Structure formats: structure tokens, C-alpha cells
Structure 1
């Protein structure tokens, strides 16, 4: 503790005096706890940033997965149309073969 007093001249015990006092309190345990709390807060902030980045990546992956689902649905519809057209061609070809067989037998 440091204490200083000033009066600006000779001191009479009946005169008022100004006294200023400064006390420095140092507690290594509290300082260490404060540092640890600050580091924990920074770690929590970093973890939050990482979690937000992961959420953004998950959203992007979800969007890409939905695009893939849509592409598969489109391809599936096209394949269904192609199979239907192929069945129609097979039916037409079968009917033509049957007509040819009838003419050959006749």
C-alpha cells in the first residue's frame, strides 16, 4: 500500500490535509482463474464457429443430395418412357412376325 499526503506547505494540525491512497491487490489464483475463463470463452467461441461451419456444410450437402434425388427422379421417368416405348415396339414386332407366319403357312 502506498499513501501520500500533501498540504502545499507547513502543516498545522488544525488544517485539513488531502490524503491519497492506492492499494494494489494481486491474487495469482484469481488471475489464473480469469485467464482460464477467458481461454474457455475463446474455446467456446471457436467451437461455435466450427459448429456453424459444420451446419453450413450440412446444408450444402443436403442441397446437393436433393439435387441428386431430383436428377434420379428425372432419369427414372425417362427410363420408364423408354421401357414403355420398347414394349410397344416389341408388341408391334411380335404382331408383324405373326402376320408373316400366317402368310407363310397360307
Structure 2
């Protein structure tokens, strides 16, 4: 039985810092898969990494917290986030 708190959500996170070319997307993908999330991590032309994850809100919050805690490859300076409804458009989690 599902409650409204179990509904899938979409989390989009933009990570700024030294996060390209250091294994950050691979690390993010590994954490997301461990949490049962689908989505992608992709490099942006301005040096940030955009992470889109879908799944249970608690798992998405865990991923966001892992991205913020400083124990990532490279150096994270800031993390911005946006929440929305899951679209179900992802299968697995990829480095795009």
C-alpha cells in the first residue's frame, strides 16, 4: 500500500565547483543506483554538473545530502536544487 509520501519525485541538482574530470558523475551514478534512483548526471558547458534523479523523496534527499557533504570526488562549492513530479522518463542512471 502506497501513501502520498511514497510517490516518486524528480530532483534536479546543479553542482558547482571542481566537479568535471574528477569522477564526480561516476560517483554520483554509483550513489544513485545504491539508493534505487533513476536519472542522469551530465556535465554543463559552464563547468557545473547537473544531476536529475527520480524515485522516493527520501532517497532523493539522501542523494542531495551526499552531494553536499563534501566527501565527493573533486570539490563542491555549492548545490542548488529544484523539486518536481517524476516523469518516469529514465531507465537506470546514466552519465550523460
Band of TM-score, shorter chain: under 0.3
Q: If you compute each CA radius of gyration, which structure gives the higher value, 1 or 2?
A: 1
- Compare relative contact order (CA 8 Å, sep 6+) and give the higher one, 1 or 2: 2
